[in-house]
Structure 1
Amino acid sequence: MSKVPITTGVEELHVHARHTGHRGLDLVLALCAIAISVISLFVAVEHGRTERQLVAASTWPFLEFQDRHEGAVGAEEVQYAVRNAGVGPANLVSTRLFVDGREVRDLPELLSACCGLPKQDLAGMQALGLESDAGLQGILDARETLDILRWDQKHAPPLFWSRLAKLPQHLTFEVCYCSALDQCWITALKSGAEPHRVENCPSDRKNFNPET
């Protein structure tokens, strides 16, 4: 019966791998063992990468501009909003609005730039049902919507309403948002435009605030 070769020392006992006695075969077996180890490592790395991609996909947010007109002619309701159409929450870090290329900081500036509304008239229109959410910043859950503004036609002066209905033609965005995994994008919220991946979002910009 063959025995496993060993060597002894003063304090240690060493067991050596069995050899076949054929140098070429031993080399082939050693190379096969190395190859199997490399393949196993590659499979483990790819598995980890796939798992990370699956997690990222399950937390992926996607923002879009929502332009909705509902109701009968003469009694429409208009809604302009930002909606998270993705499957994960979006952290809105920076939100900027532009009307014909000029940045607007708040709802009075927006309505003045698009529709000629004097800023002092905003309070009166809010009393007649003009609504907007508190701000376009913070966590926006999947399928959740934040209103830039929402109003119905029966409370609006005709000239103002006709201009308000054309607002999307003049409105552009620059929105930077991040996923739950701190993956960040900048988007213009235009139809067909893909978000641009960035390392992080600028946090020192003044954001659009409907309530100001």
Structure 2
Amino acid sequence: MTKPEKRLSFNFETVGSIAAMVIGACALFVAWDQAQIMRKQQHASVLPAVSITSGFSTEPEGYAMRVAIKNDGIGPAMIESAVLVVDGAPVSDWADLRDRLLPPQLHKDFSSSLDSAIGMLAAGEKSEAILLLWDRNDETRAGFEALKARVFAADTAETYFGVCYCSVFEKCWVAGPENASRPTPVKKCESAGDDVVARLLQTISEDEAS
């Protein structure tokens, strides 16, 4: 009579142990799932969203071409690199940009304002990375109209200004190229530290000094 009782007791103990293991596993999964949700919420609470805008305008002081970077997100963006591409090839310096993009009438009689693109861009902040301003006369007007026509006719996947940026959690994106309606996620910014705006600023100064 004792053997069946022992077997029954053993079965209850086994079932109880299995149930405890299942409950423990479920609790562990729930805790992991909650941690993932909290992690996503943390990332979303500081998500940057960088956009690139460019344009041409006629102003009292001259003809202007601008390129601006804006963070439309809710967290800071760490701009890691900036590139300017014309006809599918990156611009190396001012002489390269001048010769490949600007009509001959715009090679002189201009002033510039350039800010290094690399650095932190706070949520809602806008930085005018490139401003080129030409004097108003018949020659520059003709060149300015030719420049606008060239840019507007260009393939936006081949001619663009782009940046790679990261969030405080080191999630990274590329904004600007290929006429993308939204930034493209990347594992990391491969060309971190490369700033075409800084090179333009340096080489414009060298060109003016020569």
TM-score after normalising by structure 1: 0.69
8 Å contact 2:163–2:175 — kept in the other structure? Answer: yes
Deviation at 1:114, TM superposition (A): 2.1
1:56 positional shift? 1.1
Residue in structure 1 matching 2:185, options 185, 193, 196? 196
What secondary structure is seen at the aligned counterpart in 1 of 2:110?
helix
SS of aligned partner of 1:50: helix
Q: 1:76 to 1:207 in 2, by over 3 A?
A: closer
1:95 equivalent to 2:59? Answer no
In the TM superposition, residue 154 of structure 1 has moved relative to its aligned partner by: 7.8
**1:145 to 2:126 alignment:** yes
Q: Which residue of 2 aligns with 1:53?
A: 40
The residue correspondences of 1:53-132 to structure 2 (distance < 5 A) are: 53-68=40-55, 79-106=66-93, 109-117=96-104, 121=108, 124-126=109-111, 130-132=112-114
Q: How many residues align?
A: 185
Q: 1:117 to 1:147 in 2, by over 3 A?
A: farther
- Bigger drift between 165-174 and 175-184 goes to 165-174
Shift, 1:97, TM fit: 0.5
Instruction: Give, in whole Å, the separation in 2 of the partners of 1:180 and 1:203.
Output: 15
Q: CA 1:178–1:110 in 2, change beyond 3 Å: closer, same or farther?
A: same
Check whether the contact 2:52–2:176 (CA below 8 A) recurs between aligned residues: no
1:27 and 1:33 map into 2 onto residues whose CA distance is: 10
Structure whose alpha-carbon radius of gyration is higher = 1
Which amino acid in structure 1 is aligned with residue 84 of structure 2? L
Offset, 1:195: 0.7
Counterparts of 1:205 and 1:194 in 2: how far apart (Å)? 19
After superposition, give the CA deviation of every residue in 1:164-209 in whole Å (9 maximum; x if it has no partner).
4343554324422111111222344424254132244333645332
Unaligned runs of 5+ in 2: 1-5, 203-210
Q: Secondary structure at the match of 1:93?
A: strand
Distance 2:88 2:160 in 1: 8
Matched, 1:175 2:156: no
CA RMSD of aligned residues (A): 3.3
Change (3 A) 1:154 1:199: closer
Structure with more helix by fraction: 2
Indicate if the aligned counterparts of 1:104 and 1:208 stay in contact, CA closer than 8 A. no
User: Using the alignment, how far apart are the partners of 1:145 and 1:108 within structure 2?
Assistant: 27
CA distance in structure 1 between the partners assigned to 2:65 and 2:195 by the alignment: 27
- Residue equivalent to 2:146: 163
- In structure 2, the partner of 1:211 is 201
The percent identity for this pair of structures is 21
The more displaced of 145-154 and 31-40 is 145-154
Does structure 1 conserve the Cα–Cα contact (< 8 Å) formed by 2:48 and 2:75? yes
